Amino acid sequence: MNRTSFISGFFVFLLFITFNAQAQPDRVTGKTFATRSEVIAQNGLVATSQPLATQIGLQVLKNGGNAIDAAIAANAALGLMEPTGSGIGGDLFAIVWSAEDQKLYGLNASGRSPLGMSYDDLKKELEKRDRESIPAYGVLPISVPGAVDGWFTLHERLGSMPMEDILAPSIKYAEEGFPVSELIAYYWQIGARIHSDRTGAFKEEMTIDGRGPKKGEIMKRPELANTYKLLAEQGRDVFYEGEIADKIDAFMRENGGFLRKKDFEEHTSEWVEPQSVNYRGYDVYELPPNGQGIAALQMLQILEAYDLASMGYNSEKALHLMTEAKKLVFEDRAKLYADMDFANVPLEKLLSEEYADERRQLIGDRAGNDIKAGTGILEDGDTIYLTTADKEGNMVSLIQSNYRGMGSGIVVPGLGFVFQDRGELFSMDPNHANVYEPGKRPFHTIIPAFVMKDGKPFMSFGVMGGAMQPQGHVQIITNVIDFGMNMQEAGDAARWRHTGSTQPTDGADDYLRGDGTLNLESGVPYSVIRGLMSRGHDVQYDVGGYGGYQGIKLKDGVYYGASESRKDGHAAGY
């Protein structure tokens, strides 16, 4: 080894030691561990990213509600208590196991772009701002919020408790106040700095004197309480056809926005067929595009041919293969995943064993580069994921988001919630499947997951966090199925995250040049890191960006729950 190589390697080693010291020291060994025991319960279980929201969901179950009611109640609470990742200005996706129907339901409750804004209109607006891509903030990236319609669509088909009772706990907390939890306070303060001067009522309704609340500080949100009351009393129509839609229409007209009441009146959620692949005897389910869930399925199809268990958890070879599978699949994701009402997404081919074998042939012993899609800016996002289960056997896997933390930063005065900025995720390349069009759903990062075994529910889980999500889903699946971890161990295990792949917002002819970056959490042994670097991987170390996990497993009539130790998460049952 020459002197330069030695110095470079020693510097990397020092970085590794530094990040281990700053992060979770008990991950240094790289061995399986858990920050806590699994939560084990027979009658019901709720896992969310905020302890008070978990308690609200659990109380709904104890009061006679089912898992669907509990999921809606917990989501409403998170929109109140964790607006840094959720809220009724955003969209929702869910996979639900109905014990009565013995059926797995999929719901796409994402909103569409303004009907009155053409591609040329949007292009002119971007030119005014001297931009080529859709901005992250302000009125331009706002699409119709689908979460409220998602709640009521789920409730109408599968719920049991009156919506007034489901929303009552969140209304009370919004009026009387709640103490802000630690990580949420951190992100809320960042959001306040970004958006406090934004057009609308963000500063007045989402901050305390222009700043985000501190850890433990009591936060009240009376405007959101009033909006929740309207929903409880008048149902979804007040949001999409009545008073709330009218206020949004008026605000958008006055402030250069393109959403109109007509966009809300024509909005609908869509029941969709969950897609699946069989991974070592387990049927893993994700929702079809406009989301990215099938990326996890494509990765699993590629990985099933390899004996990961014999390679070992976080071994050099296993990490290499997983990273290479991700790189191949994400090029397909960048080119082909889009609203299926507008684009012909070749689902059958993408999920086929034949196509997985074709793509697998491109994986060698070294890090691949110059990767393109097969024939035939999204790295970060703040989201909430929650899962619930009840004594009847119903299970809900639900994810909901405003996209970039506190979304667009736009708050219509008096409504108390921030609008999402999902429209940022359209491409402006007219030849791209995900190109902006009126009335079209943008590419979505948020994905719930569900696993069945022999026709029965086995596991409901998710890992929120932008482009981390499919990668995180694959890691949870392999941790449980290949490496034999329990639900909490599977979430606490050190994670990896590859970045640099082509994005669905890029051009139709773009592709991955180079090999991107493999980010590793502390806990991967340096001998493995050195081996990955020798294969050509650009390895870096990152203490954040690995998503947020919740999960529930059902075994012999008993639920086993787990929550994210890297966040304010909490799982509880009874």
Query: Which residues are identified as catalytic?
Result: 383
The Cα 2–Cα 355 span in angstroms is 43
Residue that has been written with the tokens 């669905």 in this structure: 504
The Cα 392–Cα 100 span in angstroms is 8
What is the distance of C-alpha 137 from the center of its chain? Answer: 19
DSSP states along 521-553: -TTS-HHHHHHHHHTT--EEE-SS-S-EEEEEE
Q: At what angle do helices 468-481 and 293-303 cross, to 10 degrees?
A: 40
Q: Which two tokens stand for residue 43?
A: 């009658």
* 3-class secondary-structure state, position 264: helix
Q: Which amino acid type is present at position 514?
A: G
Residue by residue, what is the 3-state secondary structure of 55-66?
HHHHHHHHCCCC
The Cα 8–Cα 5 span in angstroms is 5
CA 472 vs CA 296, 333, 466: distances in Å: 9, 16, 10
* 3-class secondary-structure state, position 402: strand
Angle at 113 between CA 112 and CA 114, to 5 degrees: 120
* 3-class secondary-structure state, position 504: coil
Q: Are 58 and 573 in contact (CB under 8 A)?
A: yes
Q: Are 82 and 49 in contact (CB under 8 A)?
A: yes
What is the distance of C-alpha 155 from the center of its chain? Answer: 22
CB-count burial class (<10 Å; 0-12, 13-18, 19+) for 292: buried
CA 565 vs CA 79, 134, 489, 574: distances in Å: 20, 34, 10, 21
- Where b means 16+ CB within 10 Å and e means fewer, 379-417 reads bbbbbbbbbbbbbebbbbbbbbbbbbbbbbbbbbebbbb
DSSP states along 167-230: HHHHHHHHHH-EEPPHHHHHHHHHHHHHHTTSSBSHHHHHSBTTBPPPTT-EE--HHHHHHHHH
- The torsion angles phi and psi of 41, rounded to 5 degrees, stand at -150, 155
DSSP state of 38: P
DSSP H or E stretch at residue 333:
helix 316-336
DSSP H or E stretch at residue 40:
strand 39-41
* 3-class secondary-structure state, position 318: helix
DSSP H or E stretch at residue 519:
strand 517-520
